[in-house]
Amino acid sequence: MILTAAVFLTALGFVTFVVGNLLGYQEIALIGGVLIFGVGFAVSVDGVSVESGEVKTEVDNSTIEVEHQYQQMNTPDSLPVGLLVMLVGGTLSLRALNEFA
Protein backbone atom coordinates (compact mmCIF):
# COMPACT_ATOMS: atom_id res chain seq x y z
CA MET A 1 0.00 0.00 0.00
CA ILE A 2 1.27 3.45 -0.83
CA LEU A 3 2.27 5.48 2.22
CA THR A 4 0.15 8.55 1.44
CA ALA A 5 -2.94 6.41 0.86
CA ALA A 6 -2.36 4.51 4.10
CA VAL A 7 -1.96 7.73 6.10
CA PHE A 8 -5.04 9.32 4.50
CA LEU A 9 -7.27 6.27 5.06
CA THR A 10 -6.08 5.87 8.64
CA ALA A 11 -6.77 9.54 9.39
CA LEU A 12 -10.18 9.24 7.74
CA GLY A 13 -10.91 6.19 9.88
CA PHE A 14 -9.94 8.02 13.09
CA VAL A 15 -12.05 11.05 12.17
CA THR A 16 -15.01 8.81 11.33
CA PHE A 17 -14.63 6.94 14.61
CA VAL A 18 -14.40 10.11 16.71
CA VAL A 19 -17.32 11.82 14.97
CA GLY A 20 -19.46 8.69 15.28
CA ASN A 21 -18.63 8.40 18.98
CA LEU A 22 -19.23 12.07 19.73
CA LEU A 23 -22.57 12.15 17.94
CA GLY A 24 -23.70 8.83 19.39
CA TYR A 25 -23.81 6.98 16.06
CA GLN A 26 -21.96 3.80 16.95
CA GLU A 27 -22.51 2.40 13.47
CA ILE A 28 -20.45 5.25 12.02
CA ALA A 29 -17.78 4.73 14.68
CA LEU A 30 -17.68 1.05 13.74
CA ILE A 31 -17.08 1.95 10.09
CA GLY A 32 -14.07 4.03 11.17
CA GLY A 33 -12.64 1.16 13.21
CA VAL A 34 -13.10 -1.31 10.36
CA LEU A 35 -11.45 1.13 7.94
CA ILE A 36 -8.39 1.36 10.18
CA PHE A 37 -8.33 -2.43 10.54
CA GLY A 38 -8.43 -2.79 6.74
CA VAL A 39 -5.49 -0.42 6.31
CA GLY A 40 -3.53 -2.43 8.85
CA PHE A 41 -4.34 -5.66 7.01
CA ALA A 42 -3.26 -4.19 3.66
CA VAL A 43 -0.01 -2.93 5.18
CA SER A 44 0.74 -6.28 6.82
CA VAL A 45 0.12 -8.17 3.55
CA ASP A 46 1.77 -5.85 1.01
CA GLY A 47 4.01 -3.63 3.11
CA VAL A 48 4.32 0.12 2.64
CA SER A 49 5.64 1.66 -0.58
CA VAL A 50 6.93 5.17 -1.18
CA GLU A 51 7.35 6.85 -4.55
CA SER A 52 11.00 6.73 -5.55
CA GLY A 53 10.81 8.44 -8.92
CA GLU A 54 9.18 8.53 -12.28
CA VAL A 55 10.11 7.61 -15.83
CA LYS A 56 8.87 9.79 -18.68
CA THR A 57 8.74 8.34 -22.16
CA GLU A 58 7.75 10.30 -25.24
CA VAL A 59 5.20 8.42 -27.31
CA ASP A 60 4.93 10.99 -30.06
CA ASN A 61 5.44 14.74 -30.42
CA SER A 62 2.48 15.69 -28.22
CA THR A 63 2.15 12.75 -25.81
CA ILE A 64 4.35 11.85 -22.86
CA GLU A 65 3.71 8.79 -20.70
CA VAL A 66 4.69 9.02 -17.03
CA GLU A 67 5.34 5.81 -15.10
CA HIS A 68 5.73 6.13 -11.33
CA GLN A 69 8.19 3.87 -9.58
CA TYR A 70 7.71 2.73 -6.00
CA GLN A 71 10.14 1.34 -3.47
CA GLN A 72 9.29 -0.80 -0.44
CA MET A 73 9.76 1.08 2.81
CA ASN A 74 11.90 -0.83 5.26
CA THR A 75 10.54 -1.03 8.78
CA PRO A 76 12.34 -2.73 11.65
CA ASP A 77 11.45 -6.38 12.13
CA SER A 78 10.70 -5.67 15.78
CA LEU A 79 8.01 -3.12 14.78
CA PRO A 80 5.31 -4.77 12.67
CA VAL A 81 3.44 -1.63 11.60
CA GLY A 82 0.59 -3.47 9.90
CA LEU A 83 -0.10 -5.58 12.96
CA LEU A 84 -0.10 -2.55 15.24
CA VAL A 85 -2.56 -0.69 13.01
CA MET A 86 -4.75 -3.81 12.86
CA LEU A 87 -4.76 -4.00 16.66
CA VAL A 88 -5.77 -0.34 16.95
CA GLY A 89 -8.54 -0.81 14.38
CA GLY A 90 -9.77 -3.95 16.11
CA THR A 91 -9.79 -2.23 19.48
CA LEU A 92 -11.76 0.72 18.13
CA SER A 93 -14.21 -1.64 16.40
CA LEU A 94 -14.77 -3.59 19.61
CA ARG A 95 -15.26 -0.33 21.50
CA ALA A 96 -17.94 0.70 19.01
CA LEU A 97 -19.59 -2.74 19.21
CA ASN A 98 -19.54 -2.60 23.01
CA GLU A 99 -21.88 0.38 22.93
CA PHE A 100 -24.58 -1.73 21.22
CA ALA A 101 -24.81 -4.09 24.20
Q: Which residues pair with 58 in a beta bridge?
A: 64
Kindly tell me the sign of the dihedral angle through the C-alpha atoms of 46, 6, 28, 30. positive
The runs of H, that is alpha helices, within 24-73 are 26-46
0.85 cut: is pTM over it?
Answer: no
Q: How far apart are CA 90 and CA 96, in angstroms?
A: 10
16-63 pLDDT, tens per residue?
Answer: 999 999 998 989 999 999 999 999 999 888 888 888 888 888 888 888
**Letter string b/e over residues 3-34, b meaning 16 or more CB atoms within 10 A of that residue's CB:** eeebeebbeebbebbeebbeeeebebbbbbbb
Domain range list for the chain: 3-98
Q: Cα separation of 4 and 86, whole Å?
A: 18
